[in-house]
Structure 1
Amino acid sequence: MASAANLSKADFKRQVAEDIGAFTHDPLGHTMYAYPWGQAGTELADKTGPREWQGWVMGEIRDHLSNPETRFDPLRIAVASGHGIGKSALIAMLAKWGMDTCVDTRIVVTANTEGQLLTKTGPEIAKWFRLAINNDWFKVNATSIVSTMPGHDKGWRLDLATWSEHNTEAFAGLHNEGKRIILIFDEASGIPPAVWEVALGALTDAGTEIIWLAFGNPTQNTGDFRECFGKNRKLWKTRQIDSRTVEGTNKKYLQEIVDTYGENSDIAKVRVRGMFPSASSMQFIAGDVVEAAAVREISPGLASDPVIFGVDCARFGDDHSTLAIRCGRDARSRPWKRWHHQNSMLVAGDIVLQAQQWHPDAIFVDAGNIGAAIIDRLRQLLPDTPVFEVWFGSTKVRQAMYNGSPTNVFNKRAEIWTNMREWLNGGAIPDDQGLKDDLTNPLYSFGGDDVSIQLERKKDMKKRGLPSPDDGDALAVTFAEPIAPRHVPGYVNPENYGSGGYDPYADL
C-alpha cells in the first residue's frame, strides 16, 4: 500500500479498498493489514499480530474458502479452551474481516448470557472495528454494526442477538443466499439446544459462504457444544487449548489453579486445560467412567457368570427398542440389537432368535410401552427361560450401591441405573457413541425425602433437546434383580478346587 503521506484522502481510501479486496478469502492477511500492529502510541504497540491459535482458525477459513470444492459447503469450527486466550478478540477480528471483504455480509453473534454479549463480546468487537484502518466503513451501535454505504444498512450488518429458548427468530431468519453468512457462538457451552437447532437453518442457502464458529470454556459435559467434540466431531474442525500454552496469558496464575485443585480436577480441566469436565454438577454418570468402560479390555470372567438379556421397549417416534446382552463384566462381546418403528411381535421374535444363540439365564423387559406384549410373547415362546417384567416407576423402598455404599433410591429406574453406574467402574461396554451419550446425558436430583436419588425423567430430558436413553435403559435393566450363577461342569467349579473326593470324570 502506498504511504498515506503521498496520497490524497480520496486516493488513500481508494487504495485501502483495493488492498482489502485482495483479502476476500484471507482473514489472517486482512488482520495483519488492517490494524496498527507494533505502532507506537496505539493499543497494539506491544503486539506483532494474532496469537498462534487465532492464526490457526484464520488459516482454516482461508483454506476452506480458497478451495472451489469446499467454498460453498458450511465450515464449522469449535474451540474449547481455558481462560484468557483471546476468544473475544478473535471474534472481533473475524467479524471485521467478514464484513470488509464481502458486500452485504450478514453476521449474527450470540453468547451464553445477555451480560456476556453486551458487556464483554460486544465492546470487544466495537474496539477492533474502531482500531481498523477503515473504521469509517461501518457504524457501530449498541447491538448492531451496519454499513455506512447508502441502502445497505439492512443487509450488510452484524447483530448481537440475545436469545430465548422460546424466541429464536434472530437465528431462524438468518439467510443470505449467494453472499456470506457468519454465525458466532461465544461461551457456547451455555447456549441451549433450541438455539443450536434453529441455527441449523442458516446452513441451507446454496452458493453461499457459510461459517459457523463456536468458542468457549467447556463448562458442561453434555449439550451441543460438547457434541462438537463427540458424536458430531466429523462435522466440525475442533481444537482444545490449554491456556498455559498461549502467548500473553497469565501463566503463573493459571498454574496456581492447577497446583491448588490438581491437574485432573474439573476446575483445572475447564478453566485452564480446555477439557470438558468429568461430570457436570448434577450429571449422574461421569464421562470419563463411560469412556474407560468403552475401551477397557474384557476380563475373562467366570464360567458361572449368567448371561442376561435387557430389553428397553419403544414403538413410535424417534425412540427405539434395544436388546443389551451382559455376562458378568462383559456387555460388549455379544452384539446388541436395535429396532426402529417395529411392533411387539417382531421384536419378540427377534429376541427369541438371539436367545437361541446366546442361551440367556434371564430376560428382563421394560414393562412400559409395548413391553407387556413382548413379555407375554417371550414367556410363550421361551417357557424354560425366566422372563421378568421391570416397572421403572415402582416406588417401593429400595437401596442400591452408590460409590461403594448402600444408598436410598427413589424408584426402580433409579435403582437399576445406580447399580449400573457402580458396575461401569469395572465393566466393558460397546464403543458406541449413542450408548455413551445415553449413559452420560441423564442428570439426577433427590426425591421428596431429600435423601433418595432420583434420575431425570425422560420427558424432562426431551425438554432439554436430548433423546430418550434407550440403549442406557436396556443395559440398566440387566441389573433389575440378582441372577444365580449358572451351573458349570464340576471340573471348572471353584468349589471343587483342592477337594480330594472330587471325581473329575463324574460329569462325563
Structure 2
Amino acid sequence: MENVIQIPYTPRPAWAKVLHKELSRHRFAVIVAHRRFGKTIGMVNHLIRDALQSDLISPQYALVGPFSAQMEIIAWGPLKYYTSVIEGIKVNETKKYVEFPSKVPGAQGARIYIVGANNPDALRGTYWDGVILDEYSDMKPEMWTQIIRPAIENGDRKGYCYFIGTPKGQNNFYEMYKKAKTNKRYFAYLSNVYDSGIIDAKSIEELKEDMPEVEFRQEYLCDFSVSAINELFSLEELDRAFNRELTEKDIPYDMPLVQGADIARFGDDRTCIWQRKGLMVYPRPRVYKKLNTMQTADYIALAMDENKADMTFIDVGNMGAGVVDRLRQMGYTALREIPFQGAAIENKRYENIRAEMYFKLKEWIEAGGALPEEPGLREELAVIHYKYSKNGRLMLTPKEEIKEKLGRSPDLADGLVLTFARNVPLRQLGLDDRKPKKLMCNTEYSIMEAV
C-alpha cells in the first residue's frame, strides 16, 4: 500500500471549494483577494501538492514576491513547515528551496523555490513547471513578459503561472485581471472581505472605523479604482529615475557637491556615504559595517576630500554625534548634523525632517534626477509609504516597519536622502573651475568591515 503523506494544512472554504480545483484546470489564473485571505499560504500548499504529484523529471516551481527579504518572512517559513512531514525532504537555506525525494533514479527531485522579484537573475536561464507571482502589483510587468513567460514554455512541458495579490490602483495587476476575465485561457477570481466570510462582521466594522476609507476600499473591498495614494515612489517613477541618462548640461559646474552619511548604530546596520551633484547621484556609495566612531569619522573625511564636498550632512543617531565631534576636531567645518526625528524646515507640512528629506528626493526625481543601480536601493525606496499625522502633517512609514519588511535597515535610502537635508549655496567659480572636469566616482567600495 502506497504511503499517504498528511500535510498539516487545512484549506479555507474558498480554497477547498473553488481555488485548488480551478487552478488545477487552468494554466493561467489571476486571484484578487483581500488582506488576510490566506493567499500566500494557499499557494504554498498548492505548489507542494503539485510537486508531490508531478511525474516530470526534475520539476521546478517558484513562489515569487516583490522582495527577497519579505518572501523569506512570509513564505519561506511556511514552506519549510508544511514540507517538514515529508520523509527525505531537503532544505537549502542559502538558495531558499526545498527538494523532494526524487521519483526518478539519478535525477534531481522536485524543487520549490522562494524568490524575490528584486533578484530577477535567479529566475533567468532555466525552466519552470509552475510559478506564482505574489503581489504582482509591486512587480514590473517585465517580470512576466521577459522572464517568467519564456521560462514556462519548455517544449512539451507547459508550465503554469498564477498572479495573486490585493489591488493597488489600476496598474499591471489590474490589466492582468481585466485580461483574465475575458480570456478563456485564464481563470479570474475576486473575493472581497464580505464575499469570503473569513473575517466576522464586527471585526469588519472595526476595520472600517480604524482605517481611512480609501485604504479599506482598496485592501478589503478589492477596489481597483482606488489609487495607492500612500505610496511615496511609484514603480514608474523609480524606473524613470534608475534608467535616466544625464548630459553635461544636467550637471552645471557651479552646482555644489553634497554628501550624506547615514551612521550605523549596531549589528548588521551599515554606514552609507553618498555624494550628489545637481541631478546626478554618484554611483557606488561607500558602505561599511562594524566601524567604531574614529573609523567612521576617518572614512567620512576621506569621502569629503575625494571630490572636495561643499557640505556633508550626517545622521546624528546614537553614534553620529561623536562622529561629528571628531570631524570638527580634525578641522572639517563643512558639515551639519541632522536628527531624523528633528523638526522639518517646513514644519507645518512635514511631521519631521525625515519625511521632508524623502519628499525632497521625490521632487528631485520628478525634476529629472537620475539614480544609479545600486543593489538594494530600489527595494528600500519602493517600501516607503506615507500618511497624515493627527496634526495633518505628512509622515512616513516607521523605520521599524521597514526593517521588518526588508529584513534590514534602509541605510542606503537614508544616506541618500541626507543629501537633501538643507539647501547648499552654489559654488563660487574661478575661470579654471568653468572648464569641464571629470567627476570622480567610487569604484572600489563595497561593503567593508573593520578588522
Normalising by the residue count of structure 1, what TM-score does the alignment of the two structures yield? 0.51
Q: From 148, 155, 160, give the equivalent of 1:238.
A: 148
Q: From 395, 404, 411, give the equivalent of 1:463.
A: 404
User: Cα offset for 1:175?
Assistant: 9.9
**Structure 1 residues 196, 228: CA separation in 2 closer, same or farther (over 3 Å shift)?**
farther
User: Cα offset for 1:266?
Assistant: 5.0
Q: From 296, 306, 316, give the equivalent of 1:367.
A: 316
**Structure 1 residues 127, 418: CA separation in 2 closer, same or farther (over 3 Å shift)?**
closer
Other-structure match for 1:314: 264
Equivalent pair of 1:309/1:323 in contact (CA under 8 Å): yes
Distance 2:141 2:404 in 1: 20
**Structure 1, unaligned stretches of length 5 or more?**
1-101, 129-160, 242-264, 400-406, 494-508
SS across alignment from 1:409: coil
**Structure 1 residues 211, 491: CA separation in 2 closer, same or farther (over 3 Å shift)?**
closer
SS across alignment from 2:149: strand
Equivalent pair of 1:110/1:117 in contact (CA under 8 Å): no
User: Cα offset for 1:164?
Assistant: 11
Which runs of structure 2 are paired with 1:56-205 in the superposition (5 Å)?
Answer: 114=12, 116-124=14-22, 194-199=73-78, 201=80, 203-204=91-92
SS across alignment from 2:132: strand
The superposition leaves residues 38-68 of structure 1 with CA deviations (integer Å, 9 ceiling, x where unpaired) of: xxxxxxxxxxxxxxxxxxxxxxxxxxxxxxx
Other-structure match for 2:162: none
Other-structure match for 1:454: 395
Please state if 1:414 is matched with 2:351: no
Distance 1:194 1:445 in 2: 25
The superposition leaves residues 234-268 of structure 1 with CA deviations (integer Å, 9 ceiling, x where unpaired) of: xx962399xxxxxxxxxxxxxxxxxxxxxxx9525
Distance 2:236 2:8 in 1: 35
Other-structure match for 2:188: none
Other-structure match for 1:210: 111
Other-structure match for 1:443: 385
> Number of paired residues?
312
User: Cα offset for 1:486?
Assistant: 1.0
RMSD across aligned positions (CA)? 4.6
**Structure 1 residues 107, 470: CA separation in 2 closer, same or farther (over 3 Å shift)?**
same
User: Cα offset for 1:408?
Assistant: 1.0
Q: 2:303 is aligned with what amino acid?
A: Q
Equivalent pair of 1:367/1:390 in contact (CA under 8 Å): yes
User: Cα offset for 1:313?
Assistant: 1.1
The superposition leaves residues 102-129 of structure 1 with CA deviations (integer Å, 9 ceiling, x where unpaired) of: 9767879899xx465244313436889x
User: Cα offset for 1:323?
Assistant: 0.2
Q: 1:239 is aligned with what amino acid?
A: R
Equivalent pair of 2:304/2:312 in contact (CA under 8 Å): no
Equivalent pair of 2:260/2:417 in contact (CA under 8 Å): yes
Other-structure match for 2:418: 477
The superposition leaves residues 326-379 of structure 1 with CA deviations (integer Å, 9 ceiling, x where unpaired) of: 01111035x410012222221211121222221100010011132111111222
Distance 1:397 1:297 in 2: 31
User: Cα offset for 1:418?
Assistant: 0.6
Distance 2:19 2:350 in 1: 44
Distance 1:217 1:210 in 2: 18
Other-structure match for 2:245: 297
**Structure 1 residues 214, 179: CA separation in 2 closer, same or farther (over 3 Å shift)?**
closer
SS across alignment from 1:462: helix
Other-structure match for 2:371: 429
User: Cα offset for 1:480?
Assistant: 0.7
Other-structure match for 2:208: none
Larger gyration radius, structure 1 or structure 2: 1
Which runs of structure 2 are paired with 1:282-293 in the superposition (5 Å)?
Answer: 282-293=230-241
**Structure 1 residues 122, 350: CA separation in 2 closer, same or farther (over 3 Å shift)?**
same
SS across alignment from 1:408: coil
Equivalent pair of 1:310/1:475 in contact (CA under 8 Å): yes
Q: Calculate percent identity across the aligned residue pairs.
A: 22
The superposition leaves residues 61-115 of structure 1 with CA deviations (integer Å, 9 ceiling, x where unpaired) of: xxxxxxxxxxxxxxxxxxxxxxxxxxxxxxxxxxxxxxxxx9767879899xx46
Q: 1:413 is aligned with what amino acid?
A: R
Other-structure match for 1:152: none
The superposition leaves residues 178-204 of structure 1 with CA deviations (integer Å, 9 ceiling, x where unpaired) of: 978999899978997633131463643
